[in-house]
Structure 1
Amino acid sequence: MDATVRPLRIPPEMAIYAEKHDIFHLVQTLLRNLMVDKPEDPIQYLINLLKRDSVDVPRIILLGPPASGKRTIAKKLCEHTQAIHLTFSDILKDDSDLSRTAQYQDKKQKIPKDVWSQLIQQRLSKPDCVRRGWVLEAIPKTQEEALCLQEAGITPDHVVMLEAPDVVLIERSSGKRIDPVSGDVYHVTFMWPESEEVAQRLETPMTLMPADLIAKKLQKYNTEAHALRRTYHSCLKTINADQPHVDVYSQVLNYVRTPRHSASPYTPRILLFGPPGSGKSLQAKIIAQKYGVVNICCGEFLKAVSADENHMGELIKPYLESEQQVPSSIVLRILTERLSRMDCSTRGWVLHGFPQDVEQAEKLQESNFLPNRVFFLEMTDDIAIERVTLRSVDPVTGEWYHTVYKPAPGPEVQARLRFDPRNSEARLLKRLKEYWSHAVDLQAFYPQAVYINADQDPHTVFESLESRLVGRLPKVLSNRETYED
């Protein structure tokens, strides 16, 4: 057979390596920068990009009405990300050719949009912005300016738009105070400095406007805001600024840490952990149905293998019939064979019921089956007892029912329900004890795992899982991320 027409099979190790080192996203970022900047020497340009500390630096636009707290949020954001904080007045001060804008400023005329975009483009192309990234505060102000930036190749990864009721913003504006030393903005009611020394030197801004003028500026801003939302809809998040400053900043930081959707190929390899009754099987089923991945429940798969009249089935059948645990080495052989099949390699998989301890997790990793998403479904033992011990099954249909959450549809079905002895409270408590004895070590083994509150309705739990499944992981993860409504 001609080798050129053979089916191409890419070893799974290649995809794992590419995902581990973010190769697909790296190539995508390099190509984007290359096409936007259009350097004379593309090869040297790419070499210089790769020599930087990070190719993927912050590119953030922070918008919002007057007195919404943009300056304070932008400064804290830059302190955290090490990005360069820029306002248009900063860009004018840094411009080496002052003559091109002086004539417009002297006449109090608006700077032409081509000069305006050129100023911003030149500032963002300086080494500090290229190396560390940037946060543009209150740039752009109109849709026309936003389109100019796009034409110049200035495309942010994240756009944050702060919003608050006009009444709140007018009240905030009247209480604004400035630290003349640091330039930080404070408020007499909402954000007073902790340092008495700083509080003593605060000044009322010279540009403080009366309420009627603020109202006019807000009206003008609101007119443009809708068009700006449309322009940046694919990367924009609106955040309510009428809440404590710490909460606003936390929401902004969480958003800019979340990478944008990538066109990189992605094959889900998911591990689901959780105590009995946490809903692992149900969530795995929903994930498999929606995303086409292979659903592998370790316990159910072992039963299916034991039903086959082959060597492996005969080997594990005695363990299952006597309700003993199948040795880890045998389970691993069976699972690795299943995970090696073409459907798992091409479509991805969601595995639950294995590994049950760190030793099994290490063996799975040594077999080169590395998950790229790990979830722990969390809930208390009391909830697990309520969910599991009140279950019954209809032997005719195989349908499960629950005394509280899913009662039998009628007396006929109710009469034939059967209780599974394995769901008794005594046996459940034993299983819970076994799970929790290994949970902490497994959590340490998978430090990038995401923790989901399973004490919610199944749809809400799935939404939390899905939000961490479809996108790339945040650039910086805290030690423990928990998602709940």
Structure 2
Amino acid sequence: MDATNKPHQIPPEMALYAEKHRIFELMQSLMEALLIYRPEDPVDFMIGHLRKNNADVPRVFVVGPPASGKTTISRWICKHLSATYVCPQDLVHNQKLKKSQEVLSCLAQQEAIPDELWVSLLEERLSDEECMSLGWVVDGFPETRDQALQLQEKGIAPRHVIVLHAPDTVLVERNLGKLLDPFTKEVYHSTFDWPVDFMVQRRLVVPEGISEQVTASRLLESHRNIPGVIQAYAKNHKAINADQPCVDVFAQALSFVQSRPASKAPFLPRVLLLGPPGSGKHLQAALLAQKYGLVNLRLGDLLREKVVERTPLSELIKPFFNSSYPVSDNIVLSVLKERLNRQDCLSCGWVLHGFPRDVDQASLMKHTGFEPNRVFFLNLPTEVALQRLCQWATDPVAGERYHSIFKPPINAEVNQRLRQNPKNRPEKVEVKADYYHQQARELEDFYEDGIALNADQDPYTIFEHIESYLVKPLPVTRR
């Protein structure tokens, strides 16, 4: 592009492609890999890096004190995301790993295993094709800041670090009740997690090193080292209280692992609000436009503006307005495309509501080259929509709007002269709501990354939810 020729008219397709394929993050990943590994042939290295196609696979460390549930959470994450479970202690007996022999030699001589050897062993395992293609979850490592720094020097960088914590009294009680299935290596508890299978019950054994004295010693060591580990991963860790039901801990951990880190890529919001009448699309669009400077586009307003302009296009729209029939899709797309091509939409972003109403219109909009990057479905029951819309009325003298429940008029004279908008009559609201609900399922399938929100709550609570998805990357979903 010519830097002297501004503003640049960047085709919308370019931004769509870059966002869809995450070009900015891809280039960032390539540069990071080049700086870490410093290959002799950078071009071949980058081609190989791209062929791995593992940009979104999980790379997770789960750390915490003894009995905090690291193994359980790690295995559950692996099962849910089809990732590879990695436990450094299990790697010692993996004969396929060259470094395992050195570790066994140290254990045979009753020597402490150096951190360098642990890191090399883990590096060898994580470089396997299985870990590279499916991702990995490492259970209980690193245990110290030195180990974390050595992993970073080797280029082993997790995207997410889960730090589990709980009161010492809880951890001691959990640890002393542990039982191990020697066949499956599953860990059970005599009080909280007793197996149902009678055969499993019979073969349970007490693991080594879980006496009260040993547990207290390991807890003390963990308390000394965990702050250093957290410091090494200050920007990508999440502390989770493990003193709660396992399913709740797992839900928080999974939500964190599926989240994407904040991106530094330029982001231009293109928001689409879909929902039945009365779901608050107009209000949410106004709030987004006010706070983020987006162009507020309401299809009905755009068409009315075109009619006033008295252009050849307005002559085509007038008959539809006079007959109360929906404006032809081709005319609507022409008006919408012209508006979205203006400089304010291209430079500031936009929020659209009132269109599309069905999958055919959504498909036509996609072919114009303008696609939303955030789609919100504001779900609302028809009964609530009727309560919201059908009880609004306007004072024709003062122009003030009243609601029989939320904002009733105080003056009896005002109450007598109130007039209801014909569009808000129950029969018309029901027709519009029924039509939306008939199309909603297909629209949800069309916009597969759409976010469903409950619109039957405080509007500012809804806005906070919309805002959170607007300023943060969408979660990773592996299909």
TM-score between the two structures when normalised by the length of structure 1: 0.86
SS at match of 2:99: coil
How many residue pairs match? The answer is 474
What residue is the counterpart of 1:162 in the other structure?
164
Distance 1:63 1:227 in 2: 12
What residue is the counterpart of 1:19 in the other structure?
19
- Residue correspondence of structure 1 range 13-162 to structure 2 within 5 A: 13-90=13-90, 94=97, 96=99, 106=109, 109=112, 111=114, 117-118=119-120, 120-162=122-164
1:321–1:132 CA distance, 2 compared to 1 (3 A): same
| Residue 203, structure 1, aligned to residue 198, structure 2 | no
Q: Give the Å deviation of 1:98.
A: 5.2
What residue is the counterpart of 2:187 in the other structure?
185
Q: Give the Å deviation of 1:91.
A: 5.1
1:95–1:429 CA distance, 2 compared to 1 (3 A): same
- Residue correspondence of structure 1 range 373-392 to structure 2 within 5 A: 373-392=374-393
Distance 2:435 2:239 in 1: 45
1:340–1:451 CA distance, 2 compared to 1 (3 A): same
What residue is the counterpart of 1:371 in the other structure?
372
Distance 2:62 2:44 in 1: 33
Distance 2:100 2:173 in 1: 40
Q: Give the Å deviation of 1:230.
A: 4.4
Q: Give the Å deviation of 1:60.
A: 0.9
1:110–1:3 CA distance, 2 compared to 1 (3 A): closer
What residue is the counterpart of 1:176 in the other structure?
178
Q: Could you tell me whether the CA contact under 8 Å between 1:83 and 1:129 is conserved in 2?
A: yes
Q: Could you tell me whether the CA contact under 8 Å between 2:99 and 2:117 is conserved in 1?
A: no
1:119–1:277 CA distance, 2 compared to 1 (3 A): same
After TM superposition, the structure 1 stretch with the greater mean CA deviation from structure 2, 29-38 or 395-404, is 395-404
Distance 2:263 2:344 in 1: 23
Q: Give the Å deviation of 1:385.
A: 1.8
Distance 1:193 1:382 in 2: 47
| Residue 274, structure 1, aligned to residue 257, structure 2 | no
1:226–1:371 CA distance, 2 compared to 1 (3 A): same
SS at match of 2:148: helix
1:202–1:260 CA distance, 2 compared to 1 (3 A): same
After TM superposition, the structure 1 stretch with the greater mean CA deviation from structure 2, 316-325 or 92-101, is 92-101
Distance 2:359 2:310 in 1: 32
Distance 1:447 1:393 in 2: 40
What residue is the counterpart of 2:313 in the other structure?
312
1:99–1:159 CA distance, 2 compared to 1 (3 A): closer
Q: Give the Å deviation of 1:216.
A: 4.7
Q: Give the Å deviation of 1:327.
A: 2.1
1:431–1:369 CA distance, 2 compared to 1 (3 A): same
Q: Could you tell me whether the CA contact under 8 Å between 2:103 and 2:113 is conserved in 1?
A: no
Q: Could you tell me whether the CA contact under 8 Å between 1:307 and 1:313 is conserved in 2?
A: yes
Q: Give the Å deviation of 1:158.
A: 0.7
1:397–1:339 CA distance, 2 compared to 1 (3 A): farther
What residue is the counterpart of 1:345 in the other structure?
346
SS at match of 1:277: coil
SS at match of 1:302: helix
Structure 2: tracts of 5 or more residues without a match: none
Distance 1:401 1:150 in 2: 63
What residue is the counterpart of 1:252 in the other structure?
253
After TM superposition, the structure 1 stretch with the greater mean CA deviation from structure 2, 27-36 or 222-231, is 222-231
CA displacement, residues 172-223 of structure 1 (integer Å, 9 cap, x when unaligned): 212211110121111223223344333332212122222x543453344345
Distance 2:413 2:473 in 1: 46
Q: Could you tell me whether the CA contact under 8 Å between 1:258 and 1:475 is conserved in 2?
A: yes
Distance 1:206 1:3 in 2: 70
After TM superposition, the structure 1 stretch with the greater mean CA deviation from structure 2, 441-450 or 390-399, is 390-399
Distance 1:477 1:115 in 2: 34
What residue is the counterpart of 2:303 in the other structure?
302
SS at match of 1:369: coil
Letter of the 1:374 partner, please give it.
V
1:477–1:375 CA distance, 2 compared to 1 (3 A): farther
CA displacement, residues 342-388 of structure 1 (integer Å, 9 cap, x when unaligned): 22223322211101112211211222222222211112112212222
Letter of the 1:154 partner, please give it.
I
